[in-house]
Amino acid sequence: MAPRCEAGLLLLLLALPPASAGLSDYFGTKSRYEEVNPYLVSDPLSLGPEAGGSLPASCTPLQLRAVLRHGTRYPTAGQIRRLGELHSRLLRHAAAAAACPAAVALADWPMWYEESMDGQLAPQGRRDMEQLARRMAARFPALFAARRRLELASSSKHRCLQSGASFRQGLGPTLDFGGDEVEIEVNDFLMRFFDYCAKFVAMVEENDKAMCQVTAFKEGPEMKKVLEKVASALCLPVEELNADLVQVAFLTCSYELAIKNVTSPWCSLFSEEDAKVLEYLNDLKQYWKRGYGYDINSRSSCVLFQDIFQHLDKAVEESKSSKPISSPLIVQVGHAETLQPLLALMGYFKDAEPLLASNYAQQAQRKFRTGRIVPYAANLVFVLYHCDHVNSSQEEYQVQLLLNEKLLPFHHSNETISTYTDLKDYYKDILENCHFKEECELSQVNVTVVDEL
């Protein structure tokens, strides 16, 4: 029996086209970083095509502030348990499913994930961070020069701490940052601000009704069609499957590509149209839990946003006083859940209409695609410059913003360069009036009512 199953698995793998059957564009927050920068597949240290909006030679970088998502990780214990449950069901039905090649092959698939892996950084995740550090140093050589101070901070999660250590390792032994080892500061208040926001925890995190759009889409016609198709491919009664199990099969397809760079046999269950539906399910959850769905999602990140500008302010003041910049390099490692609310607070990737269970087709061209915004190793970088030979004192300090190593146009100008004054003016309300304690205070809020859309 075993040789026949192995032959079935081999045939199935041979039949699959590369890049996970063309599905990798739809893996959402489980996307490889290479999906947003494909040139890195052939050259992991490439800085990519020349981006527009270069600053004149008379501008010198003063400070770089980078907020990173950790590198590629293993599935969580919960995802591994659900995958084990699905795999067990396939094994139970193996005899009856002999006529289904996909079911035979997947029953024979070696279940190599263990619950102890629980979201840990994978070896590929370490490479993600090392290579990102090397590219960042090549892009900003003046800031990453020897004897410049590097401040590294991280969330307390092991994958983030390991990502920070790998980033430092990527800079190599030739860069002396005041000692061989740069200590990584644990700062959950900035990197996991959502855990400290009582209003977010009560109204969104722990409130089942907050995810009503996600629940509705799981039970809607698009997901029902995918469910029936997968059940048929596996020769399982449709009652044996649910949206969560189908999603974990799709996630396994994405994990195998990101972690091992292989096309998993789990990918054979899905077409590109199925992948679009499952991507939307992932994006819906991110939209309502971390994005524009509820104001508190983004408002809880104002503590991080304000901290970024406090350090930029300090660098400007030090420059004006002809003092050395005390914090030229600040690198912080957090999560997709750190970056997504921050980008929403800044107004990026906002669609004219909210993402709903009922408007899947209308949202085909949406801006809010998490795989394009926060893949593994996603990075948001603020770079402050001092410029000589300018027409006015206001132009002396300028800023660029990069997301995933691409210049991000500013909302107020649609340009990729802004004076620091203009940028602060545009975000004046958030900088002056978004107070974390007041925003996150629960006080008399009825947590069963969700009416903030």
Question: With contact defined as beta carbons under 8 Å apart, do 384 and 41 qualify?
Answer: no
Using a pLDDT cut of 70, give the percent of the chain over it: 90
Give strand pairing partners of 82.
Answer: none
User: Would you state the pLDDT for residue 364?
Assistant: 97
Query: Distance between CA 41 and CA 49 in Å, rounded?
Result: 14
Mean pLDDT along residues 400-417: 95
Other residues' Cβ atoms within 10 Å of the Cβ of residue 206: 10
Alpha carbon 250 to its chain centroid, in Å, reads 18
In CATH, the number for domain 40-440 is: 3.40.50.1240
Report domain extents, the chain: 40-440
Highest mean pLDDT among 63-72, 97-106, 134-143: 63-72
pLDDT in tens, 171-206: 987 665 555 567 899 999 999 999 999 999 999 999
Residue with tokens 């399982």: 236
Query: Distance between CA 399 and CA 6 in Å, rounded?
Result: 57
pLDDT in tens, 2-29: 333 333 344 333 333 444 548 999 999 9
Highest mean pLDDT among 7-11, 325-329, 447-451: 325-329
* Side-chain half-sphere CA neighbours of 212 within 13 A: 9
Residue with tokens 């000692």: 179
Cα distance from N-terminal residue to C-terminal residue, the chain: 56
User: Would you state the pLDDT for residue 5?
Assistant: 37
**309: amino acid identity, one letter:** F
H helical segments located in 98-150: 101-108, 123-139
**Is a pLDDT exceeding 60 seen at residue 126?**
yes
Residue with tokens 């948001």: 380
Element (H, E) at 433: helix 428-433
pLDDT in tens, 290-306: 999 999 999 999 999 99
Q: Catalytic residue positions? A: 70
Q: What are phi and psi of 321, to 5 degrees?
A: -90, 10
Pairing of strands 379-387, 184-186: unpaired
